[in-house]
Amino acid sequence: MTQRHHPAAEDFTAAAEARSFARAAEQMHVSPAAISFQIKQIEHMSGFAMFERAAATSR
């Protein structure tokens, strides 16, 4: 397994490009919760939301 040096930055980039935490997680081989955690860390440090979140629905 390759060690990630800047996981928050990598996860942010993957989520922005995929426009989805779930798809980014799949690409990065981590859980969607791990992507969400890293994004929340960035948002906390910057003081503002980086992504507009929409509630997921199930049918």
pLDDT range class, residue 5, cuts 50, 70, 90? low
Q: What is the mean pLDDT of residues 32-54?
A: 91
The structure's pTM equals 0.77
Could you tell me the maximum CA-CA distance found in the chain, to the nearest angstrom?
A: 38
Predicted local confidence at residue 16, as pLDDT: 92
**What is the phi/psi pair of residue 49, to 5°?**
-75, 135
Please report which confidence band the pLDDT of residue 54 belongs to, taking 50, 70 and 90 as the band edges: confident
Residue-wise pLDDT for 11-36, tens only, equals: 999 999 999 999 999 999 999 999 99
